């Protein structure tokens, strides 16, 4: 997920298990303000309780892990088209292993019970966002901390033991804070260094997971972009788009060279910033690897932005409005034109719509239309769940669906809209 998610999480001061931390900025339209003509009768009523979509729930009982031996599961030699045809809808474990430490952004320690709850909810695919940067040594080896690698492998095994597909990625490997461009800034000046870091990192991951079958998918980069520039979110420049194409190819070559089952590993390659805009999609489609039937285009979309993501945006969306549907239709038609019609499989690795103080019906309608359209196009979609839930007075990226402490999904209406 975009690193701007960190800005929302920095506002969190108190960790309340899987509940979201909140700032003090009021949400527009949250009903907390009264007008001058409010009657005395109305003002004498006790205030309504704050909107509370994620009430306290008892912690889930732990479930014993049955174990997982990767070599006990054969590797099928199938195309990525065949692979994604077996996938329907997926769930992101956001703001967990992409944080500086597992519980650093307010979510509880991951358990097998959580993963089992994702499976039981109906998801057949799981995206595991991981930031490796804080767990690697110094140049030139950039060795990944062994304990951290073990922990990631443990969670991967939990997912695979339940028969779900697991996407393992590199998430916030990008310029941090006030640091210089460096890692990961996709321009020609930094391309050699970035590529070296990318292949060094993925070489270690490929070696560790070389015995795993096709249910484990590697995603080379997450939203690579010109961070901190005016081009960051507008589709980038032609130079940056071409640099990303070359880095994608370096990632593919690296995985293929690392033996074991990596020759048949399915790999996801992002557009610039994982954008679904026309130019980044066109450039990736033109530079997509040839003669490899196990590669997949990777895009993200939170549209329309004013409803799905933007801070202070609108709480309203209705399937009855053609103007509401247009952005979604245009985006999926664009993906069909540049990927599907060109025989390039594609996965929507992140999407969702934030909770704006209780606009549940609008979110349900949006979810049904977005995920339904994706299904018609043959594009598996993954909901971005960062564990953030709306709290009174909060303002942020409230994408949470599952109370992780309880291992329980708290918006069954949205789940139903995804699944049907």
The catalytic residues are 223, 350
Please choose, from the candidates 409, 357, 381, the residue with its C-alpha nearest in 3D space to the C-alpha of residue 302.
381
Residue 17: alpha-carbon gap to chain centroid: 20
Which strand (E) or helix (H) includes residue 383?
strand 381-385
DSSP code per residue over 115-133 = HHHHHHTT--EEEE----G
Tell me whether residue 238 is exposed, middle or buried, using C-beta atoms within 10 angstroms of its C-beta: 0 to 12, 13 to 18, 19 or more. exposed
DSSP strand E in 161-232: where?
165-169, 216-219
**How far is 227 from 190, CA to CA, in rounded Å?**
13
With H, G, I as helix, E, B as strand and everything else as coil, classify residue 162: coil
219 contacts 201 by C-beta, under 8 angstroms = no
Beta strands in 283-351 (DSSP E): 295-300, 346-351
Q: Burial of 203 by CB count in 10 Å (0-12 exposed, 13-18 middle, 19+ buried)?
A: middle
Chain Cα centroid distance, residue 202: 19
* Residue 223 in tokens: 């939203």
Contact 243, 272 (CB under 8 A): no
DSSP assigned state of 279: H
Give which of 267, 282, 280 is closest to 339, Cα–Cα: 282
Continuous segment of H or E residues that includes residue 329: helix 322-338
Residue 85's contacts (CB-CB under 8 Å, 6 or more residues apart) are 378
Q: Which contacts qualify for 289-293: CB closer than 8 Å, 24 or more apart? A: 289/248, 289/249, 289/252, 292/252, 293/79, 293/80, 293/81
Task: For residues 266 and 300, give the distance between their C-alpha atoms in angstroms, rounded to a whole number.
Answer: 18
């Amino acid at each position: 997920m975009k690193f701007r998610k960190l800005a929302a999480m920095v506002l969190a001061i108190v960790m309340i298990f899987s509940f979201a931390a909140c700032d003090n900025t009021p949400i527009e339209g949250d009903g907390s303000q009264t007008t001058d003509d409010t009657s005395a009768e109305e003002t004498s009523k006790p205030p309504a309780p704050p909107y509370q979509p994620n009430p306290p729930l008892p912690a889930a009982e732990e479930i014993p892990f049955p174990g997982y031996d990767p070599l006990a599961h054969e590797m099928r030699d199938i195309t990525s088209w065949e692979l994604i045809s077996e996938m329907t809808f997926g769930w992101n474990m956001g703001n967990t292993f992409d944080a500086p430490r597992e519980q650093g952004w307010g979510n509880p320690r991951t358990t097998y019970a959580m993963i089992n709850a994702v499976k039981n909810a109906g998801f057949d695919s799981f995206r595991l966002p991981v930031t490796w940067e804080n767990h690697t040594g110094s140049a030139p080896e950039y060795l990944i901390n062994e304990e951290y690698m073990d922990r990631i492998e443990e969670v991967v095994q939990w997912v695979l033991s339940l028969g779900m597909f697991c996407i393992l990625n590199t998430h916030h490997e990008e310029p941090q804070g006030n640091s210089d461009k460096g890692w990961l800034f996709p321009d020609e000046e930094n391309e050699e260094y970035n590529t070296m870091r990318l292949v060094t990192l993925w070489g270690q991951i490929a070696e560790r997971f070389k015995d795993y079958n096709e249910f484990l998918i590697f995603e080379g980069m997450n939203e690579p972009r010109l961070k901190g520039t005016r081009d960051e979110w507008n589709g980038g420049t032609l130079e940056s788009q071409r640099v990303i194409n070359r880095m994608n190819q370096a990632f593919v070559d690296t995985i293929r060279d690392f033996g074991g089952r990596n020759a048949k590993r399915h790999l996801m390659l992002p557009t610039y910033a994982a954008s679904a805009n026309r130019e980044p999609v066109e450039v990736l489609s033109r530079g997509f690897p040839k003669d490899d039937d196990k590669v997949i285009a990777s895009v993200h979309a939170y549209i329309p932005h004013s409803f799905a993501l933007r801070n202070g945006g609108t709480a309203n969306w209705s399937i009855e409005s053609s103007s509401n549907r247009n952005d979604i239709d245009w985006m999926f038609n664009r993906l069909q034109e540049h990927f599907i019609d060109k025989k390039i499989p594609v996965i929507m690795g992140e999407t969702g719509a934030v909770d704006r103080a209780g606009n549940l019906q609008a979110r349900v309608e949006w979810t049904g239309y977005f995920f339904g359209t994706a299904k018609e196009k043959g594009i598996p979609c993954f909901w971005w769940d960062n564990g953030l839930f709306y709290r009174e007075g909060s303002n942020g990226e409230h994408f949470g669906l599952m109370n992780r402490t309880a291992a329980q999904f708290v918006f069954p209406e949205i789940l139903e809209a995804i699944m049907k």
